[in-house]
Structure 1
Amino acid sequence: MTARFLAATALVASFATATYADMARYELDPTHTVVYFTIDHLGYAKTLGIFTNIEGSFAYDLDTQALEDVAVKIQAASVNTFNEARDGHVRNADFLDVSNYPEITFVATGGTPASETTGTVTGDLTILGQTHPVTLDITLNKVADYPFGHQKEVLGLSMTTTIQRSAFGMMYAVENGLVGDEVTINIETEAIKDE
């Protein structure tokens, strides 16, 4: 199980060395991958938002736990806060400025297992053209062949992290406290082995 966990953390981490020929390709399943966030609104409650356009892939060797070519990309304009007027505001220059910065990206730099099914992954998050390191807490949910359909091996992960949006230059309503600075980010994903 430990080897399986290291394999899963290798989604966004770099372990060992292997030739590319030995690597298997994995694709994030867009129908089973979601990134969602919560942020404080006026101190009353947290507002929920999700991103609906996410893609990612990586090369991975099950035997060595080696990983290459990690690429995760979110289309910023796909943000959905379940309110049309608010969505428009979140997409404009006060927040995500999607016209000038259409993509949010994450690239891994390392990972550390804490138990058979938990650990952390560090990486570089880019929002509004600014890149800062973040640490994700990871839980390995399952590694198994899919029970129907494609029946390929699937890695299932839950991840969470917290960022300060002001660190990325997103200063709107931070000083007056109308909108929180701290953003909690959650990721649920299934990655399918490409055979």
Structure 2
Amino acid sequence: MTTLRLTTIGTTVVLGLVPPAQAAPATWQIDPDHAVVAFTILHAGYAKVLGRFSQIEGSFVYDPDTQELGTVAARIGAQSVDTAHEKRDTHVRSGDFLDAAAHPMITFAADGGTPTSATTGTVTGDLTIRGVTQPVTLDVTLNKRALYPCCHAKETLGISATADILRSTFGSTYALPDFVGDTVSIILEFEAIRTD
């Protein structure tokens, strides 16, 4: 009788009839040492200027097994903008563009996302620049999920994301439409470390 019971249990497990343990979402912290927030914008119709921000922090709740995304929160220091041209950077920080003195933080907040494949999806949230909040949709790709090969040795995600915004919708209309473009293409590349 005991042998029969054990055999039945073993067969059930092999056949996959025992439901798996419920996966739980985890919190992931963006690693500021391995994070890039960059942008491009057309200058006078000639070529795109590339800039980036060096002050980045953020976290999100995510279950990679189910692709369930929870709360997303990110903060970017507007004063940290760098376009490799000091005079231009000063102008970009001014009221014509970022108005960084009055609004020192650019923020993004979301609550959920939509998977489009096993490694891609979209995240729609609220982006705030210059104190103005607008909905923005990020196209997101999960590049890698694995234990980090050195240093902290924790489970880490590698993520790429892009979005296009119109700076005019955030109140920056300086030199439109001919000298400085309206469309700003955002580029995100970062690693996120599991914290629980």
Give TM-score scaled by structure 1 length: 0.83
* Aligned equivalent of 2:4: none
Note the C-alpha offset of 1:110.
3.4
Aligned residues: 174
* Aligned equivalent of 1:135: 137
**Mapped contact 1:109–1:124 kept (Cα < 8 A):** no
**Mapped contact 2:72–2:111 kept (Cα < 8 A):** no
* Residues 62, 136 of structure 1: alpha-carbon distance in 2 compared, 3 angstrom cutoff: closer
Deviates more, 1:114-123 or 1:33-42: 114-123
Note the C-alpha offset of 1:69.
4.3
* Aligned equivalent of 2:189: 188
Q: Highest relative contact order (Cα 8 Å, sep 6+), 1 or 2?
A: 1
Note the C-alpha offset of 1:163.
0.3
**Mapped contact 2:70–2:112 kept (Cα < 8 A):** no
**Mapped contact 1:105–1:126 kept (Cα < 8 A):** yes
Deviates more, 1:55-64 or 1:114-123: 55-64
* Residues 124, 36 of structure 1: alpha-carbon distance in 2 compared, 3 angstrom cutoff: same
For 1:162-189, what per-residue CA distance to the aligned partner results, in whole angstroms no more than 9, with x for missing partners? 00000000010113x1000000000001
Amino acid of the structure 2 residue aligned with 1:186: I
* Residues 62, 140 of structure 1: alpha-carbon distance in 2 compared, 3 angstrom cutoff: closer
* Aligned equivalent of 1:78: 80
* Aligned equivalent of 2:5: none
**In 1, Cα distance between the equivalents of 2:65 and 2:160?**
23
Amino acid of the structure 2 residue aligned with 1:87: D
* Aligned equivalent of 2:125: 123
**In 2, Cα distance between the equivalents of 1:191 and 1:38?**
24
**Mapped contact 2:147–2:154 kept (Cα < 8 A):** yes
Alignment map for 1:31-180 (pairs within 5 Å): 31-61=33-63, 66-175=68-177, 177-180=178-181
Note the C-alpha offset of 1:114.
1.6
2:27 matches 1:25: yes
3-state SS, counterpart of residue 99 of structure 1: coil
Larger radius of gyration: 2
Q: Which runs of 5+ in 2 are unaligned?
A: 1-21
Give TM-score scaled by structure 2 length: 0.83
* Residues 32, 111 of structure 1: alpha-carbon distance in 2 compared, 3 angstrom cutoff: same
* Residues 61, 117 of structure 1: alpha-carbon distance in 2 compared, 3 angstrom cutoff: closer
Note the C-alpha offset of 1:65.
5.1
**Mapped contact 2:71–2:110 kept (Cα < 8 A):** no
* Residues 119, 109 of structure 1: alpha-carbon distance in 2 compared, 3 angstrom cutoff: same
